[in-house]
Amino acid sequence: MKKSMKRAAALALSAVMATGMLAGCGGDSGSNGSSAANSSGAGTGNEGASGSGSGGVIDTSEHVDLTMYLLGDRTPDFDEVYGEINKILEEKLNCSVKVEFMGWGEHDTKYSLLFSGGEDFDLIFTASSWGHYEPTVAMGGFYPMTEEFIQTYAPDIWNVVPDIAWSQAKIDGIAYMVPNYQNEFGQDVLAVRGDLMEKYGVSQITSWDELIDFYKKCAADGQYASQGGPWYQYFQAQGYTVTGGAPKGGELILYNTQDPSDLNFTYILDWEGFADYCHQMKELADMGCWSQDILSSSDERQTGLLTGRTAGMIWNLGSCRNYAEQANKENPSWNVTLADPVSAWPKKVNSYINNGMAINVNSQHPERAMMVLNEFYTNPVINDMTRFGIEGKHWEAIGDDQFKVITLEGYGVDANCNWGWMNADIKRTEYKEDRTPLDDTYDAMLESWDNNVKGEHIYDGFNFDSTNVTVQMSSVDAALSTYCDPLINGLVPDVDKALEDFRTAMETAGIRDIIAELEKQAAEYVASKQQ
């Protein structure tokens, strides 16, 4: 296993900034012999930059202007922040980065057009399944990252990223992205009003049965429990998880993530558990656990909690903590806290390729682009700026590994698609001056999860490529909102008839072709990993 860099060492190495030369993080000496002085260039563009993987000097005498695509929306202070980043890149690598954004509503259609149209750019955010990784590799859009290429132009990244992450990124033996490096948990939790738990005599919500009991008590009191049925909590409580690339964000075809020996896939309409869930949701919906108009509502996921319309919300741990904090500031008596209805299971971390960065195969400067990624990923100064903004304006450093928010206006925290170069070795945690019970609950839950990460399942790194069944996928996707969404929220007159209608629609759309192709690819994937 390659060595990981440490923040303290990296910051110490950055002391050369005092000479006017803003240095990168470097890191501990690794197996490939990299260091801060030679890994990504310690001189100006005229002097060149060294790469330990090549054993010689990398020529950076030609100034290069790179273009990078990120997902989301440009924040007001984004250009100011990246102006400061470019000062470092100009000094170290004789280059700059211009950033273009693809909004959330357009990236699904625009992403592939960047490559099919041969657009001139260099770097782009990508992600397995949801962020166009596999389809773009299939169309030949990404630059291949051989081990020699990575070690030469990004030796610090090579030292930091674990072997399993590179393995997950490989398609036919070649990686086409730099995966992020952090524990990103795949379980959702509940942000729930503590005052209502106390009112209903509910001391904890740690299981599916306790969650349903709380929902029923909310309904009996005329209080909406949530903004819809807790479908994710149900299949996660059975040990299942989504299959990357499968229809409906992977929810239509699950696998048993808790049993590494189980290589079967579960199509939900072949699973008795799904019918059981749908009948439970019909009962809850009829009781009034959520509004009957949720399928036509434009409310965001957090709206119900923040307005008091619902007793809780379901989302990932970080989002639930953030909105719980906001709710408590606005309504202190609510005492919103966090609960884990799937507490019995070890925790699944998302694959490292759930976020990453790739190089355009048509880039005129792939080497320089890779050197820039090395800085974004392992230079603590740049990494901090991409996460938090400008120190002293947007945030304040607390020691080597914490940060304190000055203002969320203008830039925000982790709000600017910096997720492709997350690095756990230099990632700061937020300093809380006036801690609350919510902070303690969050820290305890996160520590518990970190100490209870489940073993790897080979499918955790598998993602289905739907290229060979695009027609069937389109037909399935078109039918899902009509048939699946009402069922998982209990909003159907007759559950058994709705299940049969859903099953018929999926068969007509070609779901069996999709399943057959997915199983074929999965078998090939398993075979490739066993070589």
pLDDT score for 22: 28
Are 33 and 119 within one domain? yes
Query: Please, what sign has the CA dihedral across residues 78, 83, 85, 89?
Result: positive
- The pLDDT-based confidence of 13 (bands split at 50, 70, 90) is very low
Residue 243 pLDDT greater than 50, yes or no: yes
Predicted confidence band at 11 (pLDDT cuts at 50, 70, 90)? very low
Tell me how far apart the alpha carbons of residues 252 and 266 are, in angstroms, rounded to a whole number: 8
Please check the confidence at residue 264 and state whether its pLDDT lies above 50: yes
SS (H, E, C) 241-299: EECECCCCCCCCEEEECCCCCCCCEEEHHHCHHHHHHHHHHHHHHHHCCCCCCHHHCCC
245 and 117 within one domain:
no
**Same domain, yes or no, for 178 and 221?**
no
Comparing 166-170, 266-270, 327-331, 353-357, the range with the smallest average pLDDT is 166-170
pLDDT score recorded for residue 101:
96
Question: Does residue 377 share a domain with residue 288?
Answer: no
Q: Is residue 193 part of a domain?
A: yes
For residues 333 and 195, the answer to whether their CB atoms sit within 8 Å is yes
- What pLDDT was estimated at residue 269? 98
Mean pLDDT, range 337-353, rounded to an integer:
91
The yes-or-no verdict on residue 48 having pLDDT over 70 is no
Between helices 511-529 and 495-509, what is the axis angle to 10°?
70
Looking at the predicted structure, is the pLDDT value of residue 422 above 70?
A: yes
Q: What is the DSSP string of 287-335?
A: HTSS-TTGGG----TTHHHHHTSBSEEEEEHHHHHHHHHHHHHH-GGG-
- Same domain (yes/no): 375, 438: no
Q: What is the C-alpha separation between 244 and 271, in angstroms, rounded?
A: 19
pLDDT the model gives residue 56: 53
pLDDT at 30: 31
Apex CA 146: angle with CA 144 and CA 150, to 5°?
105
pLDDT at 34 over 80: no
Last residue of a domain, one of 374, 409, 429: 429
Domain residue limits at 268: 188-346+432-460
Same domain for 266 and 357: no
Verify that 178 and 200 share a domain, yes or no: no
Tokens at 6, concatenated: 């440490």
Alpha-carbon gap, residue 153 to 420, rounded angstroms: 18
Q: Do 49 and 175 sit in the same domain of this protein?
A: yes
Element (H, E) at 123: strand 123-126
Same domain, yes or no, for 74 and 101?
Answer: yes
HSE, side-chain direction, 13 A CA sphere, residue 90: 10
Mean pLDDT, residues 122-126 taken together: 98
Average pLDDT over residues 85-97: 98
pLDDT at residue 52, as a whole number: 37
Q: How many CA atoms lie within 13 A of 42 on its CB side?
A: 17
DSSP-derived secondary structure letter, 61: -
Backbone dihedral region of 410: left (phi > 0), alpha (psi from -120 to 50 degrees) or beta? left
* 2 is a domain residue: no
Looking up residue 258, the CATH number of its domain turns out to be 3.40.190.10
pLDDT of residue 531: 65
Q: pLDDT at residue 438 above 80?
A: yes
CA distances from 143 to 136, 159, 279 (A): 10, 21, 49
CB 239 within 8 A of CB 259: yes
Q: What is the mean pLDDT of the chain?
A: 88
Residues 377 and 525 in one domain: no
In a domain, 1, yes or no: no
- pLDDT score of 208 more than 50: yes
Tell me if 449 is assigned to some domain. Answer: yes
Mean pLDDT of 350-356: 90
Residue 8 scores a pLDDT above 80: no
Q: Can you tell me which residue has the tokens 């299971």?
A: 345
Q: How many domains does the chain have?
A: 3
Mean pLDDT for the stretch of residues 476-487: 93
Q: Which of 56, 33, 54 is nearest to 148 (CA)?
A: 54
Lowest mean pLDDT among 12-26, 67-81, 395-409, 433-447: 12-26
Residues 431-458, buried b or exposed e (16+ Cβ, 10 A)? bbeeebebeebbeebbeebeeeebeebe
Weakest mean pLDDT among 278-282, 287-291, 430-434: 430-434
Provide, rounded to the nearest whole percent, the portion of the chain with pLDDT above 70: 89
Of the three residues 460, 479, 504, the one that is the final residue of a domain is 460
Residues 216 and 319 in one domain: yes
Asked if residue 53 has pLDDT above 70, the reply is: no
What value does the mean pLDDT take over residues 341-353? 90
How long, in residues, is the chain? 531
Query: Per the domain annotation, does 204 fall within a domain?
Result: yes
Tell me the pLDDT band of 167, cut-offs 50, 70 and 90: confident
Asked if residue 340 and residue 201 are part of one domain, the reply reads: yes
Give CA 471 to chain center in angstroms: 28
Confidence band of 23 (pLDDT split at 50, 70, 90): very low
SS3 73: coil
Domain final residue, candidates 376, 408, 429:
429
Encoded tokens for 410: 């203008």
CB 61 within 8 A of CB 82: no
Radius of gyration of the chain (CA): 24
189 token code pair: 């939790």
Neighbours of 483 (CB within 10 A): 18
Q: What is the pLDDT of residue 336?
A: 98
- 383 vs 24, 127, 153, 318, 386, CA distance in Å? 10, 19, 18, 20, 5
